[in-house]
């Protein structure tokens, strides 16, 4: 008897088996794209958290140039004092004075406002309470650079620096004392300006002082991590001078190879990449920030504005404000703080024959 042919059994695929298979397939596809994201070191560009460069939305105010802002490396690996370590921050775009504020501009402010500068007023009760104040400092005075009468070969690093003299009657109109004047220097930067004086001018002009970060961004002129505001070329190379600084043996032997022993007319030297003159040398420029040597370690990434209070100045227990850019007294053997990364500070009521400022203005109307 012939046995009937048997059919091969057909597997039965239940719904739950199909669901499991789909789940496994979905997980495989998901992991294919998810794992690289989970284990990659960076998921977006390094500057994604920083303010980006911008363009102006209003016409240029008189005498100002646009600074686009954006991220940059602030500070330097070569900082000998450890107060300016390199760190990346960003600033918003802003307008900045093409040059330092001149005697002519400051005179217009004085005529309009009747303002009296710190150097034109006697010391305050607070200043007099700081200790024994000699008679010559109980009247209006300022501090003037005067190396005359000093012996040749004097140590430029000695303390106190005896080339600074307290001169009664020295002020912005009388840079070397009461017998001097500015008649032939109206296009030179105004000097003997305290931080308070600079703020008063800015408020009158509808402007403000730059933050330290804004100042350094602008000083670099679009260059990244360069030693000088103009790049890497040394002062005087090939007979070309980029800034008004000190050449020779400080303090008494300035050869004036760059053309000047004192302040120079604004705009004398080539502008940086943003069209700004004298961001290096000529006169110190006040910033809005209080000074703290450790601030770079805690600075926010975007638009840092300095600490809430400052530390004491070098020769006083007063808190200090930041100033930048160096002056005509910056000598390579003594003071190289005319470099864009270099920091300096002084009490806000200090005035001297190498201290001035420039203004900035917000980028929006």
pLDDT digits (tens, 9 = 90+) for 131-167: 677 777 789 999 999 999 888 888 888 888 999 999 9
The pLDDT assigned to 126 comes to 77
Q: Give the predicted TM-score (pTM) of the model.
A: 0.85
The pLDDT assigned to 227 comes to 96
Which whole number is the average pLDDT over 109-135?
87
Q: Is 158 helix (H, G, I), strand (E, B) or coil?
A: coil
212 φ, ψ (degrees, to nearest 5): -60, -40
Q: What is the DSSP letter of 365?
A: -
The pLDDT assigned to 204 comes to 98
Which whole number is the average pLDDT over 33-43?
44
Compute, in degrees rounded to 10, the torsion defined by CA atoms 228, 232, 233, 235: 30
Q: Is 316 helix (H, G, I), strand (E, B) or coil?
A: coil
16: in domain: no
Burial 323-362 (b: 16+ CB within 10 A, else e): bbbbbbbbbeebbebbbbbbbbbbbbbbbbbbbbbbbbbe
Share of the chain above pLDDT 90, in %: 72
Query: At 196, which helix (H) or strand (E)?
Result: helix 195-205
Q: Which domain holds residue 342?
A: 46-156+171-365
Which whole number is the average pLDDT over 271-290?
98
The pLDDT assigned to 187 comes to 98
Instruction: Give the count of beta carbons closer than 10 Å to the beta carbon of residue 45.
Output: 8
8 Å CB contact between 349 and 128: no
The pLDDT assigned to 125 comes to 76
291: in domain: yes
Confidence of residue 75 (pLDDT cuts 50, 70, 90): very high
Which whole number is the average pLDDT over 280-293?
97
Instruction: Give the count of beta carbons closer than 10 Å to the beta carbon of residue 287.
Output: 28
**Can you tell me the distance from the alpha carbon of 338 to that of 279, in angstroms, rounded to the nearest whole number?**
8
Q: Is the pLDDT of residue 304 over 50?
A: yes
Which whole number is the average pLDDT over 223-244?
96
Tell me the range of 25-34, 43-52, 311-320, 346-355 where mean pLDDT is highest: 346-355
* Residue given tokens 């059919």 in the structure block: 7
18: in domain: no
Put residue 14 in one of left, alpha, beta given phi > 0 → left and psi -120 to 50 → alpha. Answer: beta
Which whole number is the average pLDDT over 63-90?
95
Measure CA of the first residue to CA of the last residue in the chain; give whole Å. Answer: 107
Q: Is 77 helix (H, G, I), strand (E, B) or coil?
A: coil
* Residue given tokens 């005075």 in the structure block: 141
The pLDDT assigned to 175 comes to 98
Sorted by sequence, the CB contacts under 8 Å of residue 292 that are 6+ apart come out as 306, 307, 310, 311
349: in domain: yes
Which whole number is the average pLDDT over 97-101?
98
15: in domain: no
Number of domains in the chain: 1
Q: Is the pLDDT of residue 11 over 50?
A: no
Looking at every residue in the chain, the average pLDDT score rounds to 88
Q: Domain with 144 in it: what CATH number?
A: 3.90.1580.10
**Can you tell me the distance from the alpha carbon of 162 to that of 158, in angstroms, rounded to the nearest whole number?**
8
**Can you tell me the distance from the alpha carbon of 193 to that of 174, in angstroms, rounded to the nearest whole number?**
12
Confidence of residue 37 (pLDDT cuts 50, 70, 90): very low
Q: Is the pLDDT of residue 220 over 90?
A: yes
Q: Is the pLDDT of residue 221 over 60?
A: yes
Q: Is the pLDDT of residue 1 over 70?
A: no
Within 13 Å and on the Cβ side, how many CA atoms surround 138? Answer: 7
**Can you tell me the distance from the alpha carbon of 248 to that of 136, in angstroms, rounded to the nearest whole number?**
32
Sorted by sequence, the CB contacts under 8 Å of residue 257 that are 6+ apart come out as 236, 241, 247, 248
Q: Which of 44, 41, 43, 49 is nearest to 89 (CA)?
A: 49
29 vs 308, more confident: 308
The pLDDT assigned to 76 comes to 95
The pLDDT assigned to 24 comes to 54
Q: Is the pLDDT of residue 201 over 50?
A: yes
The pLDDT assigned to 4 comes to 39
The pLDDT assigned to 2 comes to 38
194: in domain: yes
């Amino acid at each position: 008897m012939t046995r009937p042919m048997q059919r091969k059994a057909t597997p039965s695929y239940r719904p739950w088996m199909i669901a499991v298979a789909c789940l496994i397939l979905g997980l495989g596809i998901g992991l294919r794209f998810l794992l690289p994201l989970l284990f990659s070191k960076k998921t977006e560009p390094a500057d994604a958290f920083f303010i980006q460069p911008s363009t102006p939305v209003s016409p240029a105010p008189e005498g100002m140039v646009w600074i686009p802002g954006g991220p940059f490396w602030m500070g330097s690996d070569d900082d000998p004092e450890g107060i300016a370590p390199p760190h990346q921050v960003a600033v918003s775009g802003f307008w900045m004075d093409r040059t330092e504020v001149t005697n002519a501009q400051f005179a217009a402010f004085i005529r309009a406002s009747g303002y009296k500068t710190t150097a034109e007023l006697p010391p305050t009760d607070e200043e007099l309470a700081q200790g024994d104040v000699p008679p010559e400092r109980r009247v209006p005075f300022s501090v003037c650079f005067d190396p005359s009468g000093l012996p040749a070969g004097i140590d430029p690093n000695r303390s106190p620096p005896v080339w600074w003299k307290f001169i009664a009657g020295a002020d912005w109109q009388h840079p070397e004392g009461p017998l001097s004047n500015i008649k032939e220097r109206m296009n030179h930067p105004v000097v003997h300006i305290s931080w308070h004086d600079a703020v008063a001018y800015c408020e009158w002009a509808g402007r403000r002082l730059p933050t330290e970060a804004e100042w350094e961004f602008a000083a670099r002129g679009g260059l990244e991590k360069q030693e000088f505001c103009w790049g890497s070329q040394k002062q005087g190379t090939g007979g070309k001078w980029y800034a008004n600084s000190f050449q020779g043996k400080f303090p008494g032997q300035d050869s004036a190879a760059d053309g000047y022993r004192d302040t120079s007319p604004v705009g004398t030297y080539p502008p940086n990449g943003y069209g700004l003159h004298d961001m290096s040398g000529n006169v110190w420029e006040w910033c809005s920030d209080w000074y703290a040597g450790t601030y770079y370690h805690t600075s926010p990434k975007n638009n840092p504005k300095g600490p809430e209070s400052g530390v004491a100045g070098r020769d006083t227990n007063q808190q200090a404000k930041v100033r930048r850019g160096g002056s005509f007294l910056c000598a390579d053997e003594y003071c190289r703080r005319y470099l864009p990364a270099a920091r300096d500070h002084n009490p806000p009521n200090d005035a001297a024959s190498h201290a001035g400022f420039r203004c900035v203005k917000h980028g929006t109307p």
